[in-house]
Amino acid sequence: MVIAIGFEGSANKIGVGIVRDGEVLANERETYITPPGEGFLPKETAQHHRSRVLDILKRALDVSGIAPDEIDVVCYTKGPGMAPPLLAVAIVARTIAQIWNKPILGVNHCIGHIEMGRLITKAVNPTVLYVSGGNTQIISYACKRYRIFGETIDIAIGNCLDRFARIIHLSNDPSPGYNIEQMAKKGKNYVPLPYSVKGMDMSFSGILSFLEQKARPKRKQQKMQTKATEEEKWTDEDLCFSLQETLFAMLVETTERAMAHTGSAEVLIVGGVGCNVRLQEMMGIMCEERGAKLFATDERFCIDNGVMIAHAGWEMFRSGSRMAWNDATITQRFRTDEVEATWRDD
């Protein structure tokens, strides 16, 4: 029996999770929320994490009923992510490991999402669509590594959604992407947007620039209203709807192409954007047409959390992975395919 505790803080979520042999014992998390129209800056995000992490740790220990001396390994997010928040959480993990006299393991954030998704959904060997605020990747496992078949060549899909939410001043509570999803349900008119798929890769920055012209500034839009035809009139709800439909169609196309290449009959969606019901619907239609199966999780495990770091670290630890104290650092750039999946034998 191995019990692992995980600390996650690569972006605006700070979480602590505890697992015991694949069983989730605790999954405590808080979010740093900024005012509408504003993003979260690295320095302020790190300050938030430092102020909240010990309280979250206490809650996780209370919920799990686990004492520190029962824990076998302390895990933390090594990267990728924003440097100040990553460093703030890594320092806490190092300190806890030293106080408790436990080994420490740095976990790849992306691998944490994938392994947590596999645990919860019981997907065997899926084509993985990893969509979040900082990453957009289509991944498939082969020969001890998670291979990246396609990815964004500029900004991540979650970053695209978040930045558009700021343009139209949507609330950041509970998240910009969730509020865009709710507005999109009210959209009635599709506004044609640039569709930018380049082989297996995608580009989202041009779509955002195009939408920025449509949505801002409102005064200029009102002045031009007299010259506009009926077909050129749109609402923020229409733009949210059009943005989702276009972005998700690009993801479905590239994911299907990866499935065709690998012969996969499973798709697993992970990452914060994976909570979006419309994305799951569109991916589900494609899977049904191919005779494949779609796997996805809810917001407890899609959104960044500490338990996914604990579980990935648990997998690493029981397969023999160990980390020297000098290596217990962080890195903002830590690609998914850099990690050797020693815990997988297929």
For 20-31, write each residue's pLDDT tens digit. 999 999 999 999
What percent of the chain shows pLDDT beyond 70? 95
User: Is residue 106 part of an annotated ligand binding site?
Assistant: no
Q: What are 100-135's pLDDT values in tens digits?
A: 999 999 999 999 999 999 999 999 999 999 999 999
Q: Does 109 appear as a known binding residue? A: yes
Q: What is the pLDDT of residue 233?
A: 81
Residue 90 scores a pLDDT above 80: yes
Q: Is 73 annotated as a binding residue?
A: no
Flag whether pLDDT at 306 surpasses 90.
yes
With a cut of 90, say whether residue 230 has pLDDT above it: no
Higher pLDDT, 156 or 231: 156
Going from N- to C-terminal start, the domains of the chain cover: 3-114+303-327, 125-218+234-300
Whether 277 has a pLDDT exceeding 60, the answer reads yes
Query: What is the distance between the alpha carbons of residues 69 and 212, in angstroms, rounded to a whole number?
Result: 53
Residues 192-207, mean pLDDT to the nearest whole number: 97
| pTM, entire model | 0.94
pLDDT for 228 beyond 90: no
Do 3-114+303-327 and 125-218+234-300 have matching folds?
Answer: yes
CATH superfamily entry for domain 3-114+303-327 = ATPase, nucleotide binding domain (3.30.420.40)
What is the average pLDDT value for the chain, to the nearest integer?
95
* pLDDT at site 278: 98
pLDDT at 224: 52
pLDDT of residue 346: 85
Alpha helix locations (H) across 140-295?
157-167, 176-184, 205-215, 218-223, 236-262, 277-290
pLDDT band at 217 (very low <50, low <70, confident <90, very high): low
Distance (Å, whole) CA 146 – CA 152: 17
Q: How many CA atoms lie within 13 A of 147 on its CB side?
A: 12
Between CA 109 and CA 150 the distance in angstroms is 18
Q: Tell me the DSSP string of 44-92.
A: HHHHHHHHHHHHHHHHHHHHHT--GGG--EEEEEEESS-HHHHHHHHHH
Contact of 68 with 30, CB cutoff 8 Å: no
pLDDT at 109 (0 to 100): 98
311 marked ligand binding residue = no
Q: Binding residue per annotation — 205? A: no
pLDDT at 206 > cutoff 90: yes
Instruction: State yes or no: 132 annotated in a binding site.
Output: yes
Q: 79 a known binding residue? A: no
Q: What's the CATH fold of domain 125-218+234-300?
A: Nucleotidyltransferase; domain 5 (3.30.420)
pLDDT at 219: 44
pLDDT at residue 215, rounded to an integer: 86
C-alpha R_g of the chain: 21
State mean pLDDT over 29-58: 97
| Identity of the amino acid at 48 | H
Q: What is the mean pLDDT of residues 141-164?
A: 97
